[in-house]
Amino acid sequence: MKQSASDSETDDYEQPLLHRKQDDDIIRAPVLCSSRYGLAILSCYGFFVAYALRVNLSVAMVDMLNSSSSSSGANDSVCPRHSSPARPKHNHTASVYDWDSETQGWILGSFFYGYIITQIPGGYLARKYGAKWLLGFGILGTVIFTLLTPVAADLGAGYLIAVRVLEGIGEGVTFPAMHAMWASWAPPLERSRLLTISYAGAQLGTVVALPLSGQICFYLDWTYVFYIFGAVGLLWFILWVFLVSNSPSSHRRISETERTYITASLQNELSPTSDYIPWTSILTSVPLWAIVVAHFSYNWTFYTLLTLLPTYMNDILGFSIKQNGMLSALPYLGCWLLSMGGGQLADYLRETCLFRTVIVRKAFTIIGMMGPAVFLVAAGYTNCNYIMAIIFLTVSSSLGGFSASGFNINHLDIAPSYAGILLGITNSFATIPGMVGPVIARSLTKSNTILEWRTVFFISAGINLFGALFYTLFGKGTVQPWAVHRVHIQ
Residue 87 lies in a domain: no
d(CA 61, CA 82): 19
What's the full length of the chain, in residues?
490
Is 17 within the bounds of a domain?
Answer: yes
pLDDT for 426-482, tens place per residue?
Answer: 989 998 988 888 778 888 888 888 899 999 999 999 999 999 999 999 999 888 988
Handedness of CA 465, 409, 333, 236 (dihedral sign): negative
Query: pLDDT digit string (tens) for 329-358?
Result: 888 888 889 988 998 899 899 888 889 989
Looking at residue 476, its pLDDT comes to: 93
For range 197-204, the mean pLDDT: 89
Phi then psi for 269, rounded to 5 degrees? -110, -20
CB atoms within 10 A of CB 462: 14
Domain count, the chain: 1
pLDDT of residue 13: 41
Through-space distance between the first and last CA atoms of the chain, rounded to whole angstroms: 17
- 258 falls within a domain: yes
In a domain, 79, yes or no: no
Alpha-carbon distance of 242 to 238, in angstroms, equals 7
User: Looking at the domain assignment, is residue 82 inside a domain?
Assistant: no
State pTM to two decimals: 0.76
Residue 54's CATH number: 1.20.1250.20
Residue 71: pLDDT over 70: no
Residues 245-278 have pLDDT tens digits of 988 988 888 888 888 888 888 876 665 555 678 8
70: pLDDT strictly greater than 60 = no
- Angle 86-78-335 (CA atoms, 0-180°, nearest 5)? 80
Q: What is the pLDDT of residues 75-115, one digit of tens each?
A: 466 777 766 666 666 556 778 888 887 788 789 889 988 99
**Is 21 a residue whose pLDDT tops 80?**
no
pLDDT surpassing 50 at residue 5: no
What value, to the nearest 5°, has the Cα angle with vertex 342 and ends 469 and 471?
15
Residue 271 is predicted with a pLDDT of 58
pLDDT for 147 equals 96
Tell whether 88 is covered by a domain.
Answer: no
User: Residue 25: is it exposed, middle or buried by C-beta count within 10 angstroms (0-12/13-18/19+)?
Assistant: exposed
Print the domain residue range for 270: 11-73+97-483
- The reply to whether 4 falls in a domain is no
Please report the sign of the dihedral spanned by the C-alpha atoms of residue 310, residue 53, residue 116, residue 473: negative
31-35, 253-257, 357-361: which has the minimum mean pLDDT?
31-35
Whether 90 maps to a domain, the answer reads no
For residue 149, which phi and psi values (nearest 5 degrees)? -60, -50
pLDDT, tens digit, 9 for 90 and up, residues 416-439: 888 888 988 998 999 898 888 877
Higher pLDDT, 11 or 196: 196
